[in-house]
Amino acid sequence: MTSLFDNESPPPSREPLEEGALVLRGFAADIPALVAEIERIAAAAPFRHMVTPGGHKMSVAMTNCGRVGWTSNSRGYSYEPVDPATGRPWPALPECFLDLARRAAAETGFPGYDPDACLVNRYAPGAKLGLHQDRDERDPVAPIVSVSIGLTATFIWGGTKRHLPVRRFPVESGDVVVWGGPARFVYHGVAPLKYGEHPVTGALRYNLTFRKVF
């Protein structure tokens, strides 16, 4: 018997991480369209390596789209309506980003998701993100929706306290991780990206993280 999915990508699947958190495998279908939007966003709001409050330059390059954008500098983290690098508002959230984030949130049990920020991360080989919580947002329930694009990375998934054990799992292009509600303040990070070649992004990984800030 032939399968509906012969000669195609595997069907999307969902892997529970814990209550309020899921990995949606292959959920983002049109990777070239997402990359085209990222390039359009970066033409208006260039990728930059932000400095942490501790004075370290981040290895991940970042930009934003949406009503507000996540920024870091020596004074701390904040959401800003204007891009400090250009003095202009961040580019609008593309409709296809919004649609993807809403469907992923609903799939995880968070209907009516209305993100106001999308952080766009660019990882070159070696770039990493240390274990952290996302807690600069005012809404403590609405999920973070994280979309992986391009090279496969290792996601690090911990607990709600820094000392709790972590799990590591690969996130491939098209995978979406959603965490909200009881899982909203789970520690997470990304291991140093290994070198590789992806047909659409080359030696890069992009990641979109959607947030409901206000």
Q: Which residues bind ligand MD6 (CB under 6 A)?
A: 60, 70, 119, 121, 129, 134, 146, 188, 190, 207, 209
Closer residue to ligand MD6 (CB): 173 or 209: 209
207 binds, options ligand MD6, Fe ion, none, Cβ within 5 to 8 A by partner type: ligand MD6
Closest residue to Fe ion, based on beta-carbon distance:
134
Residue 190 beta carbon to ligand MD6: minimum distance, rounded to whole angstroms:
5
Burial class (CB in 10 A: 0-12, 13-18, 19+), 68: buried
Q: How far apart are CA 104 and CA 176, in angstroms?
A: 7
Rounded Cα–Cα distance for residues 85 and 91 (Å): 13
Binds 146, which of Fe ion, ligand MD6, none (CB < 5 to 8 A, cut-off by type)? Answer: ligand MD6
Only one residue has tokens 């997470």, namely: 188
CB proximity list for 15: less than 8 A, separation 6 or greater: 22, 23, 25
Residue placing its CB nearer to ligand MD6 in the complex, 52 or 92 = 52
Nearest residue (CB) to ligand MD6, 6 versus 34: 34
Helix (H, G, I), strand (E, B) or coil at 195: coil
DSSP 128: -
CB of 172 to ligand MD6, least distance (A): 12
User: What is the Cα–Cα distance from 122 to 49, expressed in whole angstroms?
Assistant: 10
Out of Fe ion, ligand MD6, none, what residue 71 binds, judged by CB under 5 to 8 A for its kind, is none
| Of the residues 134, 156, 177, 193, which one makes contact with Fe ion according to CB under 5 A | 134
Pick from 11, 24, 31, 9: which is nearest to 176 by CA? 24
Q: For residue 102, give the nearest of 212, 213, 182 by alpha carbon.
A: 212
Q: Nearer to Fe ion by C-beta: 31 or 119? A: 119
Residue 119: name its binding partner from ligand MD6, Fe ion, none (Cβ under 5 to 8 Å by kind).
ligand MD6
Shortest distance in whole angstroms from residue 76 CB to ligand MD6:
13
What's the closest the beta carbon of residue 208 comes to ligand MD6, in angstroms? 9
Any contact of residue 137 with Fe ion (CB under 5 A)? no
State whether the Cα torsion 44-94-26-200 is positive or negative: negative
**What residues line the site for Fe ion (CB under 5 A)?**
134
